[in-house]
Each structure stands twice: as structure tokens, then as C-alpha cells.
Amino acid sequence: MGNLKVAGICGSLRGGSYNKKLLNCAGVIISEMGLEMVEVDLKVLNLPLFDADLEGKELPESVKKLKKSVEEAHAVIISSPEYNYSISGVLKNALDWLSRGGKNSLNSKIAVIMGTTPGPFGTVRGQNQLRQILACLNVIVLPQPQIMIPFAETAFSADGSLKDEKTALMLKRLLQSTLDPK
Ligand SMILES: Cc1cc2nc3c(=O)[nH]c(=O)nc-3n(C[C@H](O)[C@H](O)[C@H](O)COP(=O)(O)O)c2cc1C
């Protein structure tokens, strides 16, 4: 398990993003497991909008970087906000690029998905859509436990950790059962 590579993707570009905080919590658990999560930062990558006209030519550098980072990883951790009952546009755009350009870079990968929102429903609707998209891309996602964290403004301590111990334990269980199944 020591050389399992994990790529982390946050579906929000916002400075102070709660979903980035949640991704960081996953990163801490992953490092405690003796693994390393490498973040694929969509803000830094600044991907162009998917355009099928660009596919036949040489892919944009940012797209090549995105696809390489994910292809080198065995597993992907996605933490995304829910936008209008779906996933964020930037995440959908990244997934569209990953699925195309000569190769589905996500084919046969395993993924952990999670999300948090200031609202009361914890990204449940967005995550259902994310599961459907990942099924199309032949990505394996465990059905449970599901990490959907409501009331994000009060969910994190000043050090960035999850305040609720049960939620933190559930996240640990999800990461362990996905990345280190025994
Ligand atoms: C365009 C847009 C649509 C949103 N739609 C939803 C929604 O459907 N459900 C929800 O719980 N929150 C919704 N929100 C609120 C986000 O959950 C909130 O802005 C959250 O902080 C975004 O995640 P972040 O902190 O990681 O950036 C929406 C926000 C935006 C900007």
C-alpha cells in the first residue's frame, strides 16, 4: 500500500473554501495512513472550458497536466460544493477533460467523494450526481459511508480539523475502507 498514489481535487476555487478544508482533513488522514495526497489544484491549473475542437489538436498544457496527475494516481479524492443541486461547473469541466482527449484518464480508478455546504443538506444532491458521472467514467466509488457535512461554517475548528468526532471517524473509515481494504 506504501506506493499507492492519491490525487486530491477540490471542486471550489474560492479562497477559504470549506470543501478545500474538508479535502485537507482527508489529506491529514491519508498521511497518517502512510500515503501522500497530491492536490490537483483547479485554480492553479485554470483549465479552458472543454471544447471538442481542441481535442483533435495538441491538448492545452493545463489539460495535459491535469490528465497526467490523475493518470499517475491510483485513487482520487474529490471534495466538491453543491451548486444548484449539482456539482460545480469547474469540477464538471475538469471531469469532462479527464474523460476525453484520446483517453479516459479516470478509467478503473477508485474514488472517495465528499462535500460540505453551509446549508442543511450536506451536498446530498450534488453527490448523487457526482456518483452518476463517475459511473459513466468507470470509476469505483464505495456506496458507504457517505461524507455529507451540513452547516459548514461551524463544522471546522480553528486548526482546520472537523469538530464532530463522529464525522471525523466516518471520514477515516471511508478512506481506510477505500484505500486500505482488509
Ligand atoms: C452558484 C451557486 C449555487 C449554489 N447552490 C447550492 C445548492 O444547490 N446547495 C447548497 O447546499 N449550497 C449551494 N450554494 C452555496 C454553497 O454551498 C456555498 O457557497 C459553499 O460555501 C461553497 O463551497 P466552498 O465553501 O467550498 O466554496 C451555492 C453557491 C453558489 C455560488
Global pTM reads 0.97
Non-local CB neighbours of 159 within 8 Å, separated by 6+ positions: none
Query: If one looks up domain 5-179 in CATH, what number appears?
Result: 3.40.50.360
- 125 alpha carbon – ligand 1 mean position (Å): 12
pLDDT band at 180 (very low <50, low <70, confident <90, very high): confident
Task: Identify the residue with better confidence: 105 or 4.
Answer: 105
Question: In whole angstroms, what is the distance from residue 94 CA to residue 83 CA?
Answer: 15
Q: Is the CB of 82 under 6 A from ligand 1?
A: yes
Q: Name the closest-CA residue to atom 24, ligand 1.
A: 17
Q: Compute φ and ψ for 36, nearest 5 degrees.
A: -125, 135
* Per-residue model confidence (pLDDT) at position 1: 55
pLDDT at 182 over 80: no
Question: In whole angstroms, what is the distance from residue 20 CA to residue 88 CA?
Answer: 13
* Per-residue model confidence (pLDDT) at position 34: 94
Question: In whole angstroms, what is the distance from residue 97 CA to residue 107 CA?
Answer: 13
Q: Name the closest-CA residue to atom 4, ligand 1.
A: 83
- Residue ranges per structural domain of the chain: 5-179
* pLDDT 10s digits, 101-137: 989 999 999 999 999 999 999 999 999 999 999 999 9
4-27: average pLDDT: 97
- 117 alpha carbon – ligand 1 mean position (Å): 6
* pLDDT 10s digits, 141-162: 999 999 999 999 999 999 999 9
Q: Assign 38 to helix, strand or coil.
A: strand
